[in-house]
Chains A and B, each alone.
Chain A
Amino acid sequence: MSPITVEELAGLMKQAAGVSVAPQDLQQQYDSGFDALGIDSLGLLGIVGELENRHGTSMPPDAERCKTPRQFLDLVNSTLMAGA
């Protein structure tokens, strides 16, 4: 299974939370808080739910508590890789 990319995360942020950030900008804001990007806790929960539906697998409860894109991608990708 291939890991979630920054591009995919940017697409999810737009779809689930209505926040438009270009993937290259998101790359640069890798350690910014989701809150600073305009993603609130329900928005992140929506992103987690969409990922779970797409990949047919559960994400760990900590996924929705991640503060930054880097933390989030590290966690979900290690989960997906472990289940692959």
Chain B
Amino acid sequence: MSEEIKTLTISVYTENNIGLLNRISAIFQRRHINIESLTTSQSEIENVNRFVIVVNITEIQAKKIVGQIEKQVEVIKAYYHDDHETIYTESCMFKIKSDLLFDEPQIQNIIKESNTRIVTVNREFFVLEKSGRRHEIEALRKELNVFGIMQFVRSGRIAVTKDEMKITELLAQIKN
């Protein structure tokens, strides 16, 4: 197993309970691992949550961490994958002064070419939203930064795996 540090996506299926986020994040903290991003939401199964955690670690570390995560009573299953094994995206929003839309015509080109969506426009500001890979979002931010950005925010990574994750079957097995 590789000892090279790489970007890994850890997916965790859990019960939807208070305090579980603490329990899971503590596993990283204790080992002095910085979490690059963490997203939690409802999963494909009713009442089952999914965490998507991005970390830069070795596979050896990832295997141990996944073991520690799975050990938590309210965790159903955890996996780790590298970037080739997942389809992933991030999303971001920009708030920009409305004047710029008329004063700086390039902005409209940037919006078109980058497939960015306009969420809202009013007299004071307009809001852009884009989903994509980190480098696309970074490129967009750099382009818009020239004109001035009032607010910028980027979400953590969300990812689905190319392989199947048989959580429903697993839950059915446990029930039987």
Say if A and B assemble together: no
A interface residue numbers (CB < 8 A to B): none
B interface residue numbers (CB < 8 A to A): none
